[in-house]
């Protein structure tokens, strides 16, 4: 046993060296780190420089000894590498084996920049929509309770004094809670538009959601009779913010659908070329 430490190259954590000639595991990120005097040769082929470390047992292995698999984490693929020992392969059976030719054909690095742009555009638009919904509900409460235009001033009561104020409060809050819920769904969906497998579906869902959001805002505008509100700049500012957010989300959704269709075609062509069932 050595009483020394080494720094993990992945997370920067301090690793207590337990084995001088074997792999040591980082206790923070579980990354395998070679021992100070460990041989860099493949465990099965002495004299052949190892290219990877088995993710299960920690043995050093060369290209010929690798069992490479693709795992899915949050819609993005990452590579799992382990040796060909039966126990190590069994630990990685949850990930699919990698077909080298297929992986080359479905490489989607071409979409990285556009996917990041789509994520930023739709995410920013969805955040603006959430802020808009919050400001909208506060504005409606202000109009109804603190201006002569509101129900608190125009209706004294329906059945008993004060009931009009209570009813309108529930109506305003209830209707705008639905609007905030739509905004939250928009934001959650916008976070899916850069994931390869979900991009097309997320783009279509965003298009549908933004149409529903627009129709619901139109309904609320008619219900609260905002077109007759005597202070037009307030309505214009609200409309401008909503329009800006809608344009961002709409453009991002169109780009996501476009990229999603291209990726579907790429996967289909790759499967057809290699005779794989998709």
Task: For residues 16 and 33, state if they share a domain.
Answer: yes
Task: For residues 185 and 212, state if they share a domain.
Answer: yes
Q: Give the pLDDT score at 1.
A: 44
Is 104 inside any structural domain?
A: no
Is 52 inside any structural domain?
A: yes
Task: For residues 55 and 135, state if they share a domain.
Answer: no
Tell me the Ramachandran region of residue 75: left when phi exceeds 0, alpha when psi lies from -120 to 50, beta otherwise: left
Q: Give the pLDDT score at 265.
A: 93
**In the predicted model, what is the mean pLDDT of residues 170-185?**
83
Q: 127 near 120, Cβ under 8 Å? A: no
Q: 250 near 214, Cβ under 8 Å? A: no
**In the predicted model, what is the mean pLDDT of residues 142-154?**
68
pTM over 0.75: no
pLDDT bucket at 253, cuts 50 / 70 / 90: very high
**In the predicted model, what is the mean pLDDT of residues 84-108?**
82
Domain range for 131: 110-274
pLDDT bucket at 2, cuts 50 / 70 / 90: very low
Is 207 inside any structural domain?
A: yes
Domain total of the chain: 3
Is 105 inside any structural domain?
A: no
């Amino acid at each position: 046993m050595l009483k020394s430490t080494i720094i993990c190259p992945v997370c920067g954590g301090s690793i207590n060296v337990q084995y001088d000639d074997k792999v040591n595991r980082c206790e923070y990120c579980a990354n395998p780190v070679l021992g100070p005097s460990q041989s860099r040769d493949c465990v099965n082929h002495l004299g052949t420089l190892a290219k990877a470390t088995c993710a299960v047992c920690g043995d050093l292995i060369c290209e010929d000894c690798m069992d490479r698999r693709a795992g899915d984490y949050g819609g993005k693929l990452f590579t799992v590498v382990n040796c060909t020992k039966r126990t190590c392969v069994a630990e990685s059976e949850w990930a699919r084996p990698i077909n080298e030719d297929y992986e080359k054909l479905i490489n989607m690095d071409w979409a990285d920049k556009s996917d990041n742009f789509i994520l930023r555009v739709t995410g920013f638009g969805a955040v603006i929509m959430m802020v808009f919904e919050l400001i909208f509900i506060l504005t409606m409460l202000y109009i109804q309770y603190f201006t002569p235009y509101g129900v608190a001033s125009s209706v004294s009561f329906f059945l008993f004094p004060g009931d009009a104020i209570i009813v309108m409060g529930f109506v305003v809050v209830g209707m705008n809670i639905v609007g905030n819920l739509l905004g939250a769904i928009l934001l959650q969906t916008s976070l899916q538009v850069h994931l390869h497998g979900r991009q097309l579906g997320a783009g279509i869902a965003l298009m549908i959601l933004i149409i529903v959001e627009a129709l619901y805002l139109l309904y609320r505008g008619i219900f609260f009779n905002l077109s007759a509100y005597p202070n037009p700049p307030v309505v214009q500012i609200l409309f401008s913010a909503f329009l800006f957010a809608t344009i961002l989300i709409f453009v991002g959704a169109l780009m996501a659908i476009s990229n999603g269709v291209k990726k579907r075609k790429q996967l289909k062509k790759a499967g057809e070329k290699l005779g794989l069932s998709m």
